[in-house]
Amino acid sequence: MIVNPYAFDLGGGVSTLFSQSELPTSTSALDGYNIRIVLGATNLSGSGTKIRVEIQAGTTSGYDLPLSGAYIGKIASSGNAWDFDGNQVQLLFGGTTTKTISSGEKFFSDWVTFSPDDTSSVIISFAITDSETNSLSFTASVGNAMYHKAASEADVGTSAPLGYSSSGAVNYCIKSIEVK
């Protein structure tokens, strides 16, 4: 197992399961797309019963990142590379299912009950819901992957949706995951 070099105890029983160094920026027309980020088990370190996800918008001024219907879950043991195992949970942002992250902003989801560990890959799924170019932060990321699909947000939380395409070994928007 590779130990996550960014994992550290934040005090109060909170630690970092996953952390990505600063993410560079790109602008992209991904409005109306569902995104699934797979964070490989080799990039995770730690465990807990509650998590929160830090999402980072790109820094291009005037381009925000509108998210809707975000979920986190473990990867399925069979099926497509983007399939949840069926125990995914919805992420909330200030108690709501949507959040527009302004350009240059980093934002944590609310704490939710979920038990990740460093033996199973984690999927974070969300929809980008507006009709303009978005400012995304991303980086090449060995052991991770991104999948995308032009679709309504209806299947963001679906365990085994069809029709996603690979964007390669990249991490879009996920800055860190904290556990406690």
The reply to whether 9 falls in a domain is: no
The reply to whether 5 falls in a domain is: no
The reply to whether 123 falls in a domain is: yes
- Residue 173 has what pLDDT? 77
Please determine, for residue 26, whether its predicted confidence score (pLDDT) is greater than 60. Answer: no
The reply to whether 7 falls in a domain is: no
- Residue 160 has what pLDDT? 95
Whether 174 contacts 124, CB under 8 Å: yes
CA distance 151 to 154: 8
The reply to whether 168 falls in a domain is: yes
Please determine, for residue 50, whether its predicted confidence score (pLDDT) is greater than 90. Answer: yes
CB-based burial, 137-159: b 16+ in 10 Å, e otherwise: bbeebeebbbbbbebebebbbee
* 93: containing domain: 14-156+164-179
Decide: helix, strand or coil at residue 73. strand
- Residue 53 has what pLDDT? 93
The reply to whether 111 falls in a domain is: yes
Q: How many domains does the chain have?
A: 1
Say which CATH number the domain at 77 has: 2.60.120
The reply to whether 8 falls in a domain is: no
Please determine, for residue 94, whether its predicted confidence score (pLDDT) is greater than 60. Answer: yes
Mean pLDDT of 98-105: 83
Cβ neighbours for 168, distance < 8 A, ≥ 6 positions apart:
140, 145, 146
- Rounded to two decimals, the pTM is 0.82
The reply to whether 88 falls in a domain is: yes
